Amino acid sequence: MKTKRSYSIAWKIAAIIIIVACIIYANNLRNESEVKGVNITIDYDGRDTLVTANHIEKIIFSKIPNINIMTIEDIDRKQIASIVKSNPFIGRCNVSTSIKGTVQVNAVQRVPIVRVVCTGKQFYLDNNGYYMPTSKISSQNVIIASGTIKGKVSDTIDFSSMDTTNSNISDIHKIYYLVTYILNHEDLANMFDQVYVCKDGDIELVPKIGNHTIVIGDIDNLDSKFEKLLAVYKGGFGNNGWNKYKKINLKYKNQVVCTKK
Domain shared by 124 and 246, yes or no: yes
What is the pLDDT averaged over residues 89-114? 92
Give bridge partners of residue 126 from the DSSP assignment: 112
Number of residues written out for the chain: 261
Number of domains in the chain: 2
Q: How far apart are the first and last CA of the chain?
A: 98
Domain shared by 116 and 245, yes or no: yes
Domain shared by 149 and 187, yes or no: yes
Using the predicted structure, report yes or no on whether residue 260 has a pLDDT greater than 70. Answer: yes
108 phi/psi in degrees, rounded to 5 = -125, 125
CATH code assigned at 64: 3.10.20.310
**Low-confidence winner among 78-92, 151-165, 219-233 (lowest mean pLDDT):** 151-165
201: in domain: yes
220: in domain: yes
Q: DSSP states of 146-178 as a string?
A: EES--S---S---GGG--TT-TT--HHHHHHHH
28: in domain: no
Please give the C-alpha separations between residue 124 and each of 116, 128, 182, 188, 230, in angstroms, as whole numbers.
6, 11, 16, 20, 28
Report the amino acid identity of residue 233. Answer: Y
Helices (H), the chain: 2-32, 53-63, 77-85, 171-183, 222-231
142: in domain: yes
Is 140 within 8 Å of 154 (Cβ atoms)?
no
What is the pLDDT averaged over residues 105-119? 93
180: in domain: yes
22: in domain: no
Q: Quote the pLDDT of residue 9.
A: 61
Q: Quote the pLDDT of residue 169.
A: 76
From 77, 109, 141, the end of a domain falls on: 109
83 phi/psi in degrees, rounded to 5 = -65, -45
